[in-house]
Amino acid sequence: MDNHSCHISIEVIELAQQNQIILLLLPPSCTHALQPLDTVTFSSAKQSWKRIVTRYFLRTGRKTIRKIDLPVLFKELYSLALTPKQVVAGFLRAGVWPFDSSAMKEKVARQPLAAKQLNQLPQAT
């Protein structure tokens, strides 16, 4: 998770410990490259969702999705894209588990600094 203060509390830490969950705080401005679900799972889900919705529109002749149809479509999405295999692949690609600092360094090094970030760099004295 990113290290924003709203995500961390004593309760969260205790709950993680009770459930044998290792919390990994990602550096600021790097979560887009290191977040395990962002690296594989969500991109796969986006592609699957587009195919599911396209088939739905072709099959029904509709231009919008009815609320009553959403659970069935989400179930299909979940079974296609949100599988344990996809989640594990995300953690592997991000270098989170098993830990691979070279995978992390490669992703972060490729990300150009935004102008806002450059302005926040410490000044040489």
Q: Given this model, what pLDDT does residue 112 score? A: 56
Within this chain, do residues 92 and 48 fall inside the same structural domain, yes or no?
yes
Considering the domain boundaries, does residue 122 fall inside one? no
Within this chain, do residues 55 and 71 fall inside the same structural domain, yes or no?
yes
Res. 119: pLDDT tops 70? no
Tell me the residue range of the domain where 88 lies.
35-96
Long-range contact list for 53-58, CB < 8 A, 24+ apart?
none
Within this chain, do residues 22 and 61 fall inside the same structural domain, yes or no?
no
Q: Given this model, what pLDDT does residue 5 score? A: 65
- Structure confidence at residue 125 as a pLDDT band (50, 70, 90): very low
DSSP character at residue 26 = B
Within this chain, do residues 1 and 24 fall inside the same structural domain, yes or no?
yes
Within this chain, do residues 26 and 40 fall inside the same structural domain, yes or no?
no
Within this chain, do residues 62 and 12 fall inside the same structural domain, yes or no?
no
Find tokens 């977040």 and name the residue. 35
Sign of the alpha-carbon dihedral angle for 95, 99, 100, 104: positive
Distance from C-alpha of 13 to C-alpha of 45, rounded to nearest angstrom: 29
Considering the domain boundaries, does residue 124 fall inside one? no
Residue 9 Cα to chain centre, angstroms: 21
- Collapsing DSSP to helix, strand or coil, 18 comes out as helix
pLDDT one-digit tens code per residue, 37-90 = 887 888 889 999 999 999 999 999 999 999 999 999 999 999 998 889 988 988
Q: Given this model, what pLDDT does residue 3 score? A: 60
- Structure confidence at residue 1 as a pLDDT band (50, 70, 90): low
Res. 104: pLDDT tops 50? yes
Region 107-114 average pLDDT: 58
- Collapsing DSSP to helix, strand or coil, 2 comes out as strand
